[in-house]
Amino acid sequence: MFYLKAKIIKIYQNEIILEVNNTGYHGYLIEVSSIQLNQEVLIYFINLKTDYSDQYLFFTDKENYLMAKLLLEIKNVGIKTILSIFKTLTANELIAYAKNSDLNAILLATNVGQNICQKIIIKIRSKYLSQKYNKIQLNVIQSLHKLGYKIGDIYQAILKVDPNLDQDNLLKNTIIKLNEVYY
| pLDDT, tens only, 96-155 | 898 887 888 899 999 899 889 988 988 898 888 766 778 899 899 889 988 988 877 888
pLDDT band at 31 (very low <50, low <70, confident <90, very high): confident
CA–CA separation, 148 and 138 (whole Å)? 16
pLDDT band at 183 (very low <50, low <70, confident <90, very high): low
DSSP state of 74: S
Residue 164: count of CB within 10 angstroms of its CB: 9
pLDDT of residue 53: 86
- Has residue 101 been placed in a domain? yes
3-state secondary structure of 60: coil
Q: Tell me the CATH number at 1.
A: 2.40.50.140
If one counts the domains in the chain, the total is: 3
* 25 and 56 assigned to the same domain: yes
| pLDDT, tens only, 71-90 | 999 999 999 999 999 999 99
Percent of the chain with pLDDT over 70: 96
- Has residue 68 been placed in a domain? no
